[in-house]
C-alpha cells in the first residue's frame, strides 16, 4: 500500500493550503472564544480572529512557548473539562516543572492516523511485525508508535525499553521485521546482538528501524545501516504536539508534516521573522485539529529548515530537514556556537571510532574548555601501538577543529566504557552550569 489516506496524502498544495486556512480560522475563533490564555495573549498583540484573512496572516498571531505550559501546570491551558479527556501524558521535566498533555478521543485518533501514514510511507504495512522499543507509560514514544502501527494493520510487539537480550530473542522468535526505538538504543541493541552471536541480517527478518526522540546525524544513519543491513528512518515529534507524529518516507529526504494536521513555520530565533525554504531556524508548529490542548504557533526550540517542493514519493506536504538540535542544546564555547550533532557528525567520519561519545564542557579561569571522550572501535589499537593511538587522537582533534572552528581536547577510550542508554541519550555534561 503506497498511501494510507490517498485523498489527503495526494492532495495538491493549493488544496492543502485552502484546507489549512479553513482550519486555522476555526482554531483561532475557538481559542478566542474558549481559552482565557489565548484570548488575553491575542488581545495583548492587538489581534482579533477577524484579522486572519489569509494563511499568511498567521504571522499576526502571538507565539506560545513551553514556559506557557509550565506556568499553567497542570491543565490551565486545556479546553473543555476532564470528562472530555481520555488520556494524559506527562513529560519528564528534567529542567523545571513537567508538562502535562491531555487527549480527547479525536486527538488520539489523529495522532494514530499521523503515525500510520508515516509508517505506510516508509513501506511498512499489514505484513510487518513492529517491535516498539520506546518506553511505554507517561512518555509518548511507546503508546504513540503502538497505536499508529496497529492503525496501519501491522502486528505490534510492545517490548518497551530494557531487557535487551530478551528483545533480541523476541526479534528472532516473532519474526520481527521493523523496530522503533531511539538511535542510541539501536546502537546498544546491535552491540548486544553481536555479543550473542546474532546477526540481524543473517538470523532475523529485521530490515527497518524507525528512530527518533533525540538528535542523530546522517553519518550515524550510514553507520547503523552499514553495520546492520537495516534501513533507518527518522521519526519526529514532541509530547506537546501529541508525541511521535511525523516521519520520513522511503525517499529518506526530509520529514513529512501532514498539512491537514499541522502548519509549519521556520523562524529566526532572534527576531521571530519567518524564514524561507532551505533556511535554517527555529521550528514553529500550529496544530490545526488538536482539541484538548491546542497549540498555536508553538515555538518548539528545535532547529531545522523546510522544503515545499513535491517529494520524490509524490506527496506534496511540506517537509522539514533532520533536526539539528535544540536552541537550548547549543553550547557556546568561547563565543562559538556548537551543536552536539555537529560533534557526532565529525566523529562518525573517522572510521576507527565507535559510535559512543561524551562531551564534557568546563571553565578554566575565564576560558571555556571542551573535552570529547570517544570510544575506539576495536581494542586492538590499545595493544602496543602507542604511535598509532597518538596519530589517531590528533586526527580526531583536527577533524573536530575543522568542523566546529574551536579547539577541542580528545580522549580515546576503550570500547564499551561509556554509559549506554535505553531511552534518550545524555551525551553532554556541562560543568559550567552544575
The candidate with the shortest Cα–Cα distance to 360, out of 420, 430, 302, 290, is: 430
The backbone torsions φ and ψ at residue 300, rounded to the nearest 5 degrees and listed phi first, read -75, -30
Q: Within a 10 A sphere around the Cβ of 118, how many other Cβ atoms?
A: 29
| Alpha helices per DSSP H over 153-246 | 164-173, 183-195, 200-203, 218-228
The backbone torsions φ and ψ at residue 367, rounded to the nearest 5 degrees and listed phi first, read -105, 130
Question: What does the alpha-carbon distance between residue 185 and residue 395 come to, in Å, rounded to a whole number?
Answer: 28
Residue written as grid cell 533507518 = 232
Shortest approach of ligand DLL to residue 352 CB, angstroms? 26
Q: Between residues 215 and 281, which has the closer beta carbon with respect to ligand DLL?
A: 215
Shortest approach of ligand DLL to residue 300 CB, angstroms? 5
Buried b (16+ CB within 10 A) or exposed e, 405-425: ebebebebbeeeebeebbbbb
Q: Between residues 115 and 396, which has the closer beta carbon with respect to ligand DLL?
A: 115
Q: Between residues 128 and 248, which has the closer beta carbon with respect to ligand DLL?
A: 248
C-alpha cell at 43: 488581545
Judge contact between 107 and 242, C-beta under 8 A.
yes
Question: What does the alpha-carbon distance between residue 111 and residue 70 come to, in Å, rounded to a whole number?
Answer: 23
Question: Taking CB positions, which residue lies at the least distance from ligand DLL?
Answer: 212
Q: Between residues 389 and 428, which has the closer beta carbon with respect to ligand DLL?
A: 428
C-alpha cell at 390: 597518538
Shortest approach of ligand DLL to residue 149 CB, angstroms? 12
- 91-264-344-409 Cα dihedral, nearest 10 degrees: -80
Helices 386-404, 340-348: crossing angle, 10 deg rounding: 140
**Binding interface with ligand DLL (CB under 6 A):** 91, 134, 140-141, 212-215, 234-239, 243-244, 300, 302, 323, 326
Shortest approach of ligand DLL to residue 99 CB, angstroms? 8
Q: Between residues 58 and 145, which has the closer beta carbon with respect to ligand DLL?
A: 145
Shortest approach of ligand DLL to residue 213 CB, angstroms? 4
Shortest approach of ligand DLL to residue 385 CB, angstroms? 37
Q: Between residues 327 and 389, which has the closer beta carbon with respect to ligand DLL?
A: 327
Q: Between residues 132 and 346, which has the closer beta carbon with respect to ligand DLL?
A: 132
Shortest approach of ligand DLL to residue 143 CB, angstroms? 10
Amino acid at each position: 500500500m503506497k498511501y494510507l489516506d490517498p485523498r489527503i496524502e495526494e492532495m495538491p498544495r493549493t488544496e492543502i493550503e485552502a484546507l489549512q486556512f479553513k482550519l486555522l480560522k476555526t482554531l483561532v475563533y475557538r481559542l478566542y472564544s474558549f481559552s482565557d490564555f489565548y484570548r488575553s495573549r491575542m488581545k495583548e498583540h492587538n489581534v482579533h480572529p477577524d484579522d486572519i484573512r489569509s494563511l499568511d496572516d498567521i504571522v499576526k498571531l502571538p507565539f506560545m512557548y513551553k514556559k506557557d505550559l509550565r506556568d499553567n501546570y497542570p491543565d490551565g491551558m486545556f479546553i473543555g473539562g476532564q470528562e472530555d479527556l481520555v488520556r494524559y501524558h506527562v513529560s519528564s521535566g528534567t529542567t523545571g516543572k513537567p508538562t502535562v498533555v491531555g487527549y480527547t478521543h479525536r486527538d488520539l485518533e489523529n495522532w494514530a492516523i499521523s503515525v500510520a501514514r508515516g509508517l505506510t510511507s516508509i513501506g511498512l504495512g499489514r505484513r510487518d511485525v513492529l517491535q516498539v522499543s520506546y518506553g511505554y507509560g507517561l512518555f509518548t514514544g511507546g503508546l504513540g508508535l503502538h497505536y499508529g502501527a496497529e492503525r496501519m494493520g501491522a502486528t505490534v510487539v510492545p517490548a518497551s525499553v530494557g531487557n535487551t537480550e530478551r528483545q533480541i530473542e523476541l526479534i528472532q522468535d516473532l519474526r520481527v521485521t521493523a523496530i522503533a526505538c531511539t538511535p542510541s538504543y539501536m546502537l546498544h541493541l546491535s552491540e548486544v546482538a553481536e555479543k550473542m552471536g546474532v546477526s540481524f541480517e543473517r538470523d532475523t527478518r529485521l530490515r527497518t528501524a524507525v528512530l527518533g526522540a533525540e538528535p542523530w546525524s546522517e553519518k550515524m544513519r550510514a553507520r547503523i545501516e552499514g553495520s546492520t543491513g537495516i534501513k533507518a528512518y527518522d521519526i519526529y515529534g514532541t509530547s506537546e504536539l501529541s508525541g511521535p507524529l511525523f516521519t520520513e518516507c522511503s525517499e529518506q529526504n526530509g520529514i513529512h508534516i501532514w498539512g491537514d494536521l499541522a502548519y509549519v513555520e521556520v523562524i529566526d530565533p532572534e527576531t521571530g521573522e519567518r524564514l524561507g525554504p532551505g533556511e535554517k531556524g527555529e521550528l514553529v508548529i500550529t496544530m490545526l485539529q488538536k482539541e484538548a490542548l491546542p497549540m498555536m504557533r508553538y515555538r518548539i526550540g528545535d532547529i531545522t529548515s523546510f522544503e515545499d517542493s513535491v517529494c520524490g514519493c509524490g506527496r506534496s506536504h511540506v517537509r522539514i530537514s533532520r533536526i539539528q538540535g535544540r536552541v537550548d542544546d547549543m553550547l557556546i564555547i568561547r563565543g562559538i556556537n556548537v551543536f552536539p550533532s555537529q560533534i557526532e557528525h565529525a566523529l562518525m567520519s573517522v572510521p576507527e571510532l565507535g559510535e559512543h561519545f561524551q562531551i564534557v564542557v568546563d571553565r578554566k579561569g575565564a576560558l571555556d574548555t571542551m573535552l570529547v571522550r570517544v570510544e575506539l572501535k576495536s581494542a586492538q589499537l590499545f595493544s602496543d601501538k602507542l604511535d598509532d593511538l597518538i596519530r589517531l587522537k590528533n586526527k580526531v582533534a583536527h577533524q573536530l577543529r575543522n568542523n566546529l572552528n574551536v579547539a577541542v581536547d580528545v580522549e580515546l577510550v576503550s570500547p564499551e566504557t561509556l554509559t549506554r542508554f535505553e531511552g534518550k541519550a545524555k551525551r553532554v555534561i556541562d560543568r559550567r552550569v552544575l
